[in-house]
A and B are shown apart, each in its own frame.
Chain A
Amino acid sequence: NAGVTQTPKFRVLKTGQSMTLLCAQDMNHEYMYWYRQDPGMGLRLIHYSVGEGTTAKGEVPDGYNVSRLKKQNFLLGLESAAPSQTSVYFCASTLRGGETQYFGPGTRLLVL
């Protein structure tokens, strides 16, 4: 039981490049979330999903897109990376809304 995994662990991009971050969970959770964490700050919600085929905007959705084609996977895309998107990205999941959130190990992204 791997829990929540994230791919890749670290990535360097040039401004304008695109990439996709993958989050996978093997706990059969319905809800999945993408957060970003910047130095000295708490986590901010980017997008979330309440089930397969659904997505919704969080607090800071601009510049990101997401997809939840399979229940166990939640993808975060950056179409045209900007230096302001340099951050650590965390994925989380819950069995249902309003329950304990379980986090992945994070992806460190540097945009030059």
Chain B
Amino acid sequence: GIQVEQSPPDLILQEGANSTLRCNFSDSVNNLQWFHQNPWGQLINLFYIPSGTKQNGRLSATTVATERYSLLYISSSQTTDSGVYFCAGGSYGKLTFGQGTILTVHP
């Protein structure tokens, strides 16, 4: 099956800093999504982005499908951005999740 590798595994930021999270896939995917798991465990979908670039407020994501990677950009980070960020990819409905990036934003 598809292997999903996320980096970095941990990231500590001061409020206001920018960051980039990366996700590499071992094979081509036609379904790629980014999620945020908040400290209370709730999983929120951030982007459905099998290719191209999307932006939503301070967050944006870019997927280069031909090179099998995706990037999540967080600008002007806030303490509420803390949590775990997962990327997941696969074919059609089935997703394989990466191990996640733990983000901690200090005030």
Instruction: Please classify how large the interface on chain A is, using the bins under 10, 10 to 19, 20 to 34, 35 or more.
Output: 20 to 34
User: How many contacts between A and B, using CB within 8 angstroms?
Assistant: 57
For A94, A96, A102, the residue with the greatest tally of chain B CB atoms inside 10 Å of its CB is: A94
With most chain A CB atoms within 10 A of its CB, the pick from B33, B43, B88, B99 is: B43
The interface size of chain B toward A, counting residues with CB under 8 Å, comes to 24
Supposing A41-B99, A42-B100 touch, asked if A58 and B42 sit within 8 A by C-beta, the answer is no
| Main SS class of interface, B | strand
* Contact residues of A between 1 and 47, Cβ < 8 Å to B: 31, 33, 35, 40-45
Q: Chain B contacts of A44 at CB under 8 A?
A: 97
Q: Which residue of A lies closest to B86 (CB)?
A: A42
Residues of A within 8 A of B33 (CB): 100-101
Listed A/B pairs (24) with beta-carbon separation below 8 Å = A31-B93, A41-B99, A42-B86, A42-B97, A42-B99, A44-B97, A45-B95, A45-B96, A50-B93, A90-B43, A92-B43, A96-B93, A97-B31, A98-B91, A98-B92, A98-B93, A100-B45, A101-B88, A101-B95, A102-B45, A105-B41, A105-B42, A106-B42, A106-B43
Binding site for B on A (CB under 8 A): 31, 33, 35, 40-45, 48, 50, 58-59, 88, 90, 92, 94, 96-103, 105-106
Q: Which 7 A-B pairs have the closest CB atoms?
A: A97-B93, A42-B97, A103-B43, A97-B92, A43-B97, A100-B48, A98-B92
